Amino acid sequence: GSSDAEYDVVVLGGGPGGYSAAFAAADAGLKTAIVEQYATLGGVCLNVGCIPSKALLHNAAVIDEVRHLAANGIKYPEPEIDIDQLRAYKEKVIGKLTGGLAGMAKARKVDIIRGRGEFVSANHIRVALTESSQYEQANETGEHQTIAFKNAVIAVGSRVVNLPFIPQDPRIVDSTGALELRQNGGRLPEKMLIIGGGIIGLEMGTVYSTLGTRLDVVEMMDGLMQGADRDLVKVWEKMNAHRFDNIMTNTKTVAVEAKSDGIYVSFEGEKAPQEPQRYDMVLVAAGRAPNGKLCGADKAGVAVSERGFIEVDKQQRTNVPHIYAIGDVVGQPMLAHKAVHEGHVAAENCAGHKAYFDARVIPGVAYTDPEVAWVGVTEEIAKRDNIKINKAVFPWAASGRAIANGRDEGFTKLIFDAETGRIIGGGMVGTHAGDMIGEICLAIEMGCDAEDIGKTIHPHPTLGESIGMAAEVALGVCTDLP
């Protein structure tokens, strides 16, 4: 191959971390390229993650909302669902966003090099050029290009973990397969098993369930949605019990057999049925593995852990000072908003500024119905790490807006440091919780106490008001607004 191009910054991977780093580097005046093996920018998040899942979840939530209206005297017939059209809607959403990114790259003169990149030295990446029409599919053209860089940013993300005992079968899918809505010859499955009771599995389960699929879920840990406090999850569980035939916590999947009439799965553990269970479809959502070992990082001298993570300092630098790493490949939480912030830090350092990743907290959200959102110190963490806290809870049963919406099952919880009185965590369960948790993040970053939050005038009547109300609960003020 030729070695004609030299860049100030080469970003390996075009996901949320990668494109954010590249755009910020270009904005700082650096000559920048992105190497991406698939046809579109946006990575997992835009193509097969955050965005398509939310496009489907939105439609599911509207269907569920319409069903709730029956109790208010407004009755619609059961919806007629055209899966092909729904899929086309989802693809249109993705296309709008990835197209927007391509335009933003062009406007900044960021070169996009389509291919699979591998470090060949501490200053060179060799790219096997690819052609692809679909995300997660790329054919090498046979041509190569070697590019030289002053700085590199590794943003290669993560991939689905495949469990070794699970056979290959079109009825057994990962999150990408589930988002395709293509199983069983175009018909959605009657009965689906979700392996892994985390956010991704439960979000996809919500979509399928609303479209008519019965669910089982199996989880090795003692509860679903690990990371969130149990009191939040309990509300979600109560509202979603109708979707599930069997919630198997503390249970292991031990065998999966593909037969002509279905997928037969055997379990072991607390809630395990004795007999193998039959499913039309199985969604494997048992976690994601970092791609650090798949990009020749060792040839650049970059240390990669046994599991494939790349260790970085607070400036996002690897052990090789001019090579940075960001996003899912540097560790948990594997979330797009973390990747974006890390990308900006890496770009600023490439431009010679000193920037540090020093976020106090990173929020987590399950975009289920109701949504579950949490940030910072949870009650679970406080207990584990012996942090003395005060908590304040505002039940949405006292929120005028939640009652008017017919959705008052939720609550808002704030967690304060018992010594300083400052807010250090919070959680919300209820409709739109994910849209509101950002205020609690800001309060934590700003070092607010209950008075700062409680005396901030929130608009009435809103669900967001529940954050101010929870702070007033902490202050012992009577909340008299519902």
Question: Which is closer to ligand FAD, CB of 140 or CB of 222?
Answer: 140
Question: Which is closer to ligand FAD, CB of 337 or CB of 458?
Answer: 337
Shortest Å distance, C-beta 120 to ligand FAD = 12
Summarize the annotated binding site for NAD(+) as residue ranges.
196-203, 219, 287
Query: Taking Cα atoms as reference points, which of 103, 261, 299, 269 lies closest to residue 171?
Result: 261
Burial grade of 402 (CB within 10 A; 0-12, 13-18, 19 or more): buried
Question: Which is closer to ligand FAD, CB of 439 or CB of 465?
Answer: 439
Shortest Å distance, C-beta 295 to ligand FAD = 4
Shortest Å distance, C-beta 435 to ligand FAD = 12
Q: Confirm whether 460 is a catalytic residue.
A: yes
Question: Which is closer to ligand FAD, CB of 42 or CB of 464?
Answer: 42
Question: Which is closer to ligand FAD, CB of 199 or CB of 382?
Answer: 199
Summarize the annotated binding site as residue ranges.
54, 117, 196-203, 219, 287, 328, 334-337
Relative to beta strand 191-195, strand 281-284 is parallel
List of residues contacting ligand FAD (CB under 6 A): 12-18, 35-38, 43-45, 49-50, 53, 116-117, 155-158, 175, 200, 291, 294-295, 327-328, 334-337, 339, 367
**CB hemisphere CA count around 256 (13 angstroms):** 24
Angle between helices 83-107 and 50-69 (to 10 degrees): 140
Shortest Å distance, C-beta 236 to ligand FAD = 16
Query: Taking Cα atoms as reference points, which of 466, 482, 369 lies closest to residue 413?
Result: 466
Shortest Å distance, C-beta 101 to ligand FAD = 11
Question: Which is closer to ligand FAD, CB of 174 or CB of 465?
Answer: 174
Shortest Å distance, C-beta 265 to ligand FAD = 21
Question: Which is closer to ligand FAD, CB of 69 or CB of 442?
Answer: 442
What secondary structure, in 3-state letters, does the chain show? CECCCEEEEEEECCCHHHHHHHHHHHHCCCCEEEEECCCCCCHHHHHHCHHHHHHHHHHHHHHHHHHHHHHHCCCCCCCCCCHHHHHHHHHHHHHHHHHHHHHHHHHCCCEEEEEEEEEEECCEEEEEEEECCCCCCCEEEEEEEEEEEEEEEECCCEEECCCCCCCCCCCEECHHHHHHCCCCCCCCCCEEEEECCCHHHHHHHHHHHHCCCEEEEECCCCCCCCCCCHHHHHHHHHHHHHHEEEEECCEEEEEEEEECCEEEEEEEECCCCCCCEEECEEEECCCEEECHHHCCHHHHCCCECCCCCECCCCCCECCCCCEEECHHHHCCCCCHHHHHHHHHHHHHHHCCCCCCCCCCCCCEEECCCCEEEEEECCHHHHHHCCCCEEEEEEEHHHCHHHHHCCCCCCEEEEEEECCCCEEEEEEEEECCHHHHHHHHHHHHHCCCEHHHHHCCCCCCCCCCHHHHHHHHHHHCCCCCCC
Shortest Å distance, C-beta 233 to ligand FAD = 17
What span, in angstroms and rounded, lies between the C-alpha atoms of 423 and 474?
11
Shortest Å distance, C-beta 202 to ligand FAD = 11
Let me know how long the chain is.
482
Q: Which amino acid is at 430?
A: G
- From 68, 344, 458, 460, the catalytic residue: 460
Catalytic residues: 460
